[in-house]
Structure 1
Amino acid sequence: MNIEAQLQQVFDLPPQQVRKISPYFVEEQMAKGMFFLGQGQRADRLSFVASGLFRVFAQTESKEVTQWIGGSGYFITDLSSFLFDQPGRWQIQALTDAKIFSLYKDDYKHFEALIPEWNVLEKRFIAKCFMILEKRVFDFISLSAEERYLHYFEQHKAYFNQVPLQYIASVLGMTPETLSRIRSKVGS
């Protein structure tokens, strides 16, 4: 996916404004297993995933928790760390070789001067992030484990061939054993 098309879609910008900001997104390659963000690091960039898969996770006292798995077409960062310059809560790791387009924080600060209505666009972007999170929380508390699995499988079939199942189980809030039982029951 092209970075300009993605920026236009996400921020609802006209092409001339997209051309002003797209050069600030630097193409980077990440090898499988590389950390985009390590434990306790400050997020210094917001990146668009052009190809590959990433996992957002944290280590608790008793287990590792995968919060999100995503790939092409998504943005990645620890948003609270990026916006508020605090140590990241999440680690982000490439699950496959990946290509990303990164916007570093120092360049991000210039967007207000480049695009006068940037504050409004930024709020919309953050609101979209919040809406996605809100839907995920609602699904998590309102759907059964089997319904969560079926919904996730329908949206992310390809992940089941590319991502260790324990990570998917964690995203769904279940043990790998529960995921295995559900998969056997529904036949996928």
Structure 2
Amino acid sequence: MSRDDAREDTTVRRCLASGERAEKETLVRFVLAPDGRVVPDLAERLPGRGAWVSAWREAVDQVVANGLFARGFKTRALADADLGDTVERLLATRVMDTLSLARRAGEAVTGYEKCRAMLARGDAVLLHARDGSMDGLKKLAGVAGEQAIRLFDSTELGAPFGRGEAVHVALTPGGLADRIKTECSRLAGFRSLAVGGKEGR
């Protein structure tokens, strides 16, 4: 096996819904709890056999409706009908937890002027509240290029900063920003607005 083949073997998995192989960062891993219930393993750290599904609500719903988890785990598997909602909630929590880390590390700011200044300095990442002003989004998105992400309400964005709400959040380039972009890409499959303010599935 070549080095490239070995790398692909560790970073690529087959989606239980489509049967197609894809990068792990575009999929969601599920495992079986001791009671036989299917649970998401977003950090990919839980023990046991994993089943992978594309990070789209429709894919998760399809696997649940057609009982495909039993095929993936090769045993009886109990999956809640609202499993897609659970994945969405957990992904959103992971983004907010990472945003809190970025704030404490001085890598995330909120407020129009602070965000504009950070975006003007380089390839920063912009998060804009779904219920925020489109005028403000257009002005900042012009500075951020294609990095504007609209997946959260202002109350969600405000929480990591100890505020009731926040409309604009900017992050400096780096590991935490990359982690947030990856998780937001997965979350976009479960929420109605995606990167750049475009409608998701």
TM-score range, shorter chain: under 0.3
Larger of the two Rg values belongs to structure: 2
* Structure ranking higher in strand proportion: 1
Which of 1 and 2 has higher RCO (CA within 8 Å, sep 6+)?
1
TM-score by length of 2: 0.27
